[in-house]
Structure 1
Amino acid sequence: STFVAGLEKLKKGEIEPYGVPLAGELPIDFKDIRIVGSYDVDRAKIGKKLSEVVSQYWCDVNSLSDDPVVSTGVHLGSVKNLPIEAEGLEDSMTLKEAIERLVDEWSKLDPDVIVNTCTTEAVKPFGNKEELLKAIENNDKGRVTAPQVYAYAGTLYAKKRGGAAFVNVIPTYIANDPAFVELAKGNNSCGFGDDGATGGTPFTADVLSHLAQRNRYVKDVAQFNIGGNMDFFALTDEGKNKSKEFTKSSIVKDILGYDAPHYIKPTGYLEPLGDKKFIAIHIEYTSFNGATDELMISGRINDSPALGGLLVDLVRLGKIALNRKEYGTVYPVNA
């Protein structure tokens, strides 16, 4: 809802594009972004106009340039223990049938870019496409997760359409799973992911890059986030938290070239914090003549707006990658 509300205000010139990293640097204008479909598994939202859902959170958005009806998605237990009444396609059909339904609906909507913003969930990568196809054929609803269903449906849709992009902004392995990388390459799909980092992780990445450029040796890194929104509530599940931990922790070796001791993961849920999460970072490093320096950073960051600004760019980058036929995982973008 934050992405939709902010995009609408951008189109109308009501706000400046602060928080959109590549605001004026891409050849695609904000006004060129159209929302042709929306999916949810919250029974209270399904069947309503998108504007009706958005206005529940943003009272200053009364109408939308594009206002599709919210369709039924797939959950496969991903919202278990969350305070919603879940409804998914898989409740009344097999995985194969649900995927066929999604591909059929998307073919009518004709999107260039499909964005997955599901709640973070515990996931086991498939590693090869044969295992994925086997699980779907066997209707193994305990093995396949909702994002994996969307991603696979996205590759089938891309093949049918002649090309599409799939953007995954949660830490389920899609862009990092060889099964989906292979499927994307073979079906004219551009893959972006995994995890739209919005809190402490971008700060940590920037600081580590700074230290690497100045030939400091990083001795250890500690970073944690505490928030009070539904995503942080979901992360109280150990399996879901583990998925998030991997995508965050992988930046250390990627940037430094060595795996400095680190503790980087979402740390807890505190409801009063709401969507404005608390972040804290501590980095210890060695400088000239053996001197040891330390950096300590703390802050409060609005989670949903931070991701919303990234989505404005990711949708446009997805279209650019599609135009260039960069099929498979687009590794420079957050993979």
Structure 2
Amino acid sequence: MIKVAIAGVGNSASALLQGLSLAKKGEEIPGILKLPISPSEIEVVAAFDVDKRKVGKKLSEAIFEKPNVVPKYAEVKSDVIVKRGPTLDGIYGKLSEVIEESSEPPIDVVSTLKEEKVDVLLNLLPTGAEQATMFYAKSALEASVAFINATPTEVVKNLGKEFEEKRVPLFGDDLMSQVGGTAFHTGVIEFLKSRGIKVIRSYQIDISGNTETYVTLEDWRKEVKKGVKSNFITSRSDGEVVAGTSDYVEFLGDRRVSYIVIEGEYALGEKVRVDISLKTRDGANAVQPLVDLIRLAKIVKDRGIGGAIKPICGYYFKNSYRYGSFEEARKDLEEFLRKVMSEPRTEQ
């Protein structure tokens, strides 16, 4: 069993819990890595939040509370009670408009991680909650618990060496969706370049109706997301790139619409323009990478490997290590796994 704790019982947590529930019933999660650990062995044993509509409730109930908008795909059985985490900057700005802060006092996160013998702490806080993210990262480090940072906060840059010295895995930053706009946009550019097309410029506009999109209406949060997405795509393109969330449309709920335009040039100076409309569900897009990362964290932790591991961070995240292409990143990940799986587990 892999014991997992979650910081932030939002839409991604809801989708993950429902995906794990279906996995326990024998349903396949498309696209996951073939590893010696099954998704059915993942057990969420602790959860932290600051919203009074979630704190004190069973996790199976809290994942369907507002402001969550992920649809109900499956029944989730969990008697884990959501505990009150520290607020810090977790309701700063527009977050205060959607989160109703609990009056309960914060619990001792480190003690909880140790008492529950947690293997992996999963950080699913909103973009911009940097103080809260760093708090949970340091709590994981203190408790010797692997840390997965799905947010853009630069945990790898700031704490990577400390996690490596303590031989605790650290995966981040800013999770890459299974088939989100950034991954799809980048993949199309890679295809065009493979056919000899000179990519001149491209842009991407994302629209959704969930909390993450709402809070990025604030210019400073929007710039954070825009910077990470644009920099990632630019690393695979020779042309000018602008990418970032554009607007919040409440009735879309968990649905996301990504508009992508790519302009290029081929033989005889002729121009090519690609216009794409990609429609996905944000919550479901997080399930496959999170299921992979939780299992990978357990595997490397059991072998005494700590720190930010480039083949894992570079493949699953947008804001850490960069590769020239998805193919290169995938090959590096597969080679790393072959090497790691041949190593014996260490005593914990």
Query: Which TM-score bucket, shorter chain as reference?
Result: 0.7 to 0.9
C-alpha displacement of 1:27: 2.0
AA partner of residue 43 (structure 2): R
Mapped to 2, the partners of 1:319 and 1:307 lie a distance apart of: 19
> Is 1:111 the equivalent of 2:118?
yes
The aligned residue for residue 98 of structure 2 is 83
Q: 1:201 aligns with which of 182, 194, 199?
A: 182
Mapped to 1, the partners of 2:129 and 2:54 lie a distance apart of: 24
C-alpha displacement of 1:22: 1.9
> Is 1:272 the equivalent of 2:251?
yes
C-alpha displacement of 1:42: 0.6
Asked whether the equivalents of residues 122 and 239 of structure 1 are also in contact (C-alpha less than 8 Å), the reply is no
Asked whether the equivalents of residues 54 and 61 of structure 1 are also in contact (C-alpha less than 8 Å), the reply is no
> Is 1:39 the equivalent of 2:51?
no
Are residues 188 and 51 of structure 1, via their aligned partners in 2, closer, same or farther at CA, if it must alter by over 3 Å?
A: same
The aligned residue for residue 155 of structure 2 is 174
TM-score (norm 1): 0.80
Instruction: Kindly tell me the number of residue pairs found equivalent between the two proteins.
Output: 292
The aligned residue for residue 142 of structure 2 is 156
> Is 1:5 the equivalent of 2:15?
no
Q: 1:54 aligns with which of 63, 70, 73?
A: 63
Mapped to 2, the partners of 1:313 and 1:190 lie a distance apart of: 14
Which range is displaced more, 112-121 or 215-224?
215-224
The aligned residue for residue 232 of structure 1 is 213
C-alpha displacement of 1:203: 0.2
Mapped to 1, the partners of 2:203 and 2:216 lie a distance apart of: 18
AA partner of residue 81 (structure 2): V
> Is 1:307 the equivalent of 2:305?
no
The aligned residue for residue 133 of structure 2 is 147
Mapped to 2, the partners of 1:84 and 1:169 lie a distance apart of: 19
Asked whether the equivalents of residues 73 and 88 of structure 1 are also in contact (C-alpha less than 8 Å), the reply is no
- Which of structure 1's runs of 4+ aligned residues deviate more than 6 A? none
C-alpha displacement of 1:88: 8.1
The aligned residue for residue 126 of structure 1 is none
Mapped to 2, the partners of 1:44 and 1:296 lie a distance apart of: 41
Mapped to 1, the partners of 2:103 and 2:290 lie a distance apart of: 25
SS at match of 1:82: helix
Are residues 88 and 201 of structure 1, via their aligned partners in 2, closer, same or farther at CA, if it must alter by over 3 Å?
A: farther
Structure 1 residue runs of 5 or longer lacking an equivalent are 93-97, 124-144, 159-163
Alpha carbon RMSD of aligned pairs, Å?
2.2
Mapped to 2, the partners of 1:58 and 1:277 lie a distance apart of: 13
> Is 1:221 the equivalent of 2:202?
yes
Are residues 70 and 42 of structure 1, via their aligned partners in 2, closer, same or farther at CA, if it must alter by over 3 Å?
A: same
Mapped to 1, the partners of 2:309 and 2:231 lie a distance apart of: 17
AA partner of residue 82 (structure 1): E
Asked whether the equivalents of residues 24 and 40 of structure 2 are also in contact (C-alpha less than 8 Å), the reply is yes
Are residues 252 and 60 of structure 1, via their aligned partners in 2, closer, same or farther at CA, if it must alter by over 3 Å?
A: closer
For residues 60-93 of structure 1, what are the alpha-carbon distances to aligned partners after superposition, in whole Å with 9 as ceiling and x for unaligned? 64452x531111112313223332221388x77x
Asked whether the equivalents of residues 147 and 172 of structure 1 are also in contact (C-alpha less than 8 Å), the reply is yes
For residues 26-71 of structure 1, what are the alpha-carbon distances to aligned partners after superposition, in whole Å with 9 as ceiling and x for unaligned? 221111111111111111211111112235566664452x531111
> Is 1:318 the equivalent of 2:297?
yes
Are residues 206 and 58 of structure 1, via their aligned partners in 2, closer, same or farther at CA, if it must alter by over 3 Å?
A: closer
SS at match of 2:201: strand
Identity %: 29
Are residues 72 and 271 of structure 1, via their aligned partners in 2, closer, same or farther at CA, if it must alter by over 3 Å?
A: same
C-alpha displacement of 1:5: 1.4
> Is 1:165 the equivalent of 2:165?
no
Are residues 58 and 275 of structure 1, via their aligned partners in 2, closer, same or farther at CA, if it must alter by over 3 Å?
A: closer
The aligned residue for residue 335 of structure 2 is none
Asked whether the equivalents of residues 248 and 264 of structure 1 are also in contact (C-alpha less than 8 Å), the reply is yes
The aligned residue for residue 22 of structure 1 is 32
The aligned residue for residue 132 of structure 1 is none
Mapped to 2, the partners of 1:235 and 1:114 lie a distance apart of: 25
Mapped to 1, the partners of 2:54 and 2:126 lie a distance apart of: 16
C-alpha displacement of 1:229: 0.8
> Is 1:252 the equivalent of 2:215?
no
Are residues 85 and 16 of structure 1, via their aligned partners in 2, closer, same or farther at CA, if it must alter by over 3 Å?
A: same
> Is 1:102 the equivalent of 2:102?
no
